[in-house]
């Protein structure tokens, strides 16, 4: 395929992904009210659990509308994840071998439910995270939380955990495709720690050490799980290769 053909293909994939996100955003706008109500629940629980005044605060005239738009786009990205994940891989599939295409399909088939499961897990731990972090405030203070800052925190938390669930699958598939060995994955654990720390620092609010820790630990565990699966695969592949060599030697 020529360069022009690649650009046309790229434009087609981006357009389809954007349409998927746009349709999902329409669904997200319709669901913005119940999502916003669900976001208020952890704030309301603070008053009961900690005995302090707590409320979600809109500091500007347009902040309520902006928040609804953010919710719509976020829901759109999550709902349309099967579409844009497939479009990303479909762009590269024409240049891949048949065996590598199977790995690409396996990536999409496993990455989509894991991404959604990661987002669900982030939403599940959100109330405990909010209660834990606000509990450090003095007892006689009120929890007047900015709606924009609160949603940014929720968005980073949910998306970060969703991405963390997908990354190990990506490493395993690169191993199955022969790009990365288990030795390379496990031998780079120091670099992985640095990358995870930087990632969690970006994904969580500034100076929020507890959130960084709670995100970094499961990400590193998943990293080592991916390395262990890659080690099993490499071991089986090595045994199969040795068996073939022995059979060929016997035929000689």
Rounded Cα distance, 208 and 220, in Å:
19
| Prediction pTM value | 0.68
Task: Give tens-digit pLDDT for 126-180.
Answer: 877 787 778 777 777 777 888 888 888 888 778 777 877 788 887 887 787 677 8
pLDDT band at 26 (very low <50, low <70, confident <90, very high): very high
- Please give the C-alpha separations between residue 16 and each of 2, 22, 30, 112, in angstroms, as whole numbers: 21, 10, 22, 17
Rounded Cα distance, 195 and 207, in Å:
17
Report the share of the chain in percent with pLDDT over 90.
6
Rounded Cα distance, 119 and 123, in Å:
6
Rounded Cα distance, 12 and 20, in Å:
12
């Amino acid at each position: 395929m020529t360069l022009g053909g690649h650009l046309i293909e790229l434009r087609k994939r981006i357009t389809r992904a954007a349409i998927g996100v746009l349709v999902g955003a329409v669904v997200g706008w319709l669901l913005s009210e119940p999502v916003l109500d669900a976001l208020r629940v952890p704030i309301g629980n603070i008053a009961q659990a900690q005995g302090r005044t707590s409320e979600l605060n809109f500091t500007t005239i347009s902040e309520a509308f902006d928040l609804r738009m953010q919710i719509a786009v976020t829901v759109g990205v999550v709902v349309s994840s099967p579409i844009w994940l497939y479009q990303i891989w479909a762009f590269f599939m024409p240049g891949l071998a048949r065996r590598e295409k199977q790995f690409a399909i396996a990536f999409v088939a496993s990455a989509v439910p894991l991404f959604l499961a990661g987002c669900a897990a982030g939403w599940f731990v959100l109330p405990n995270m909010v209660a834990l972090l606000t509990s450090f405030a003095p007892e006689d203070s009120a929890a007047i939380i900015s709606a924009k800052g609160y949603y940014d925190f929720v968005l980073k938390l949910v998306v970060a955990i969703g991405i963390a669930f997908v990354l190990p699958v990506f490493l395993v598939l690169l191993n199955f495709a022969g790009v990365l060995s288990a030795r390379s994955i496990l031998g780079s654990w120091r670099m992985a720690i640095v990358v995870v720390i930087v990632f969690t620092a970006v994904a969580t609010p500034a100076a929020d050490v507890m959130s960084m820790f709670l995100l970094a630990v499961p990400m590193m565990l998943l990293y080592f799980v991916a390395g262990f699966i890659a080690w099993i695969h490499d071991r089986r592949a090595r045994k199969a290769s040795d068996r073939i060599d022995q059979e060929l030697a016997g035929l000689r």
